[in-house]
C-alpha cells in the first residue's frame, strides 16, 4: 500500500557508484594510485549490481 515510500535501490547504488568514481578521480589526481585502484574495484562491483538490477526489471 505504501510502496511509494520505499527507496529505489537502483538510485541508491547509482549515487554510491558516482561518489566512488569521484573519490577515485581525486585519489588519482593526488598521486595515490593504491587508493584509486581500490576505489575503482569497489565502483566496478557497484556497477555490476546496477546491471543486475536492470536485467531483472
* Burial class (CB within 10 angstroms; exposed 0-12, middle 13-18, buried 19+) of 46: buried
pLDDT tens-digit readout, 10-55: 999 999 999 999 999 999 999 999 999 999 999 999 999 999 999 9
Domain residue ranges in the chain:
14-56
Whole-structure pTM value: 0.84
For the record, the C-alpha cell of 12 comes out as: 541508491
Inform me whether the pLDDT recorded for 57 exceeds 80: no
pLDDT tens-digit readout, 7-19: 788 999 999 999 9
Amino acid at each position: 500500500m505504501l510502496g511509494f515510500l520505499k527507496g529505489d535501490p537502483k538510485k541508491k547504488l547509482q549515487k554510491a557508484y558516482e561518489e566512488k568514481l569521484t573519490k577515485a578521480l581525486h585519489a588519482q589526481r593526488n598521486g595515490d594510485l593504491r587508493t584509486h585502484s581500490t576505489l575503482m574495484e569497489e565502483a566496478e562491483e557497484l556497477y555490476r549490481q546496477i546491471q543486475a538490477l536492470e536485467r531483472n526489471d
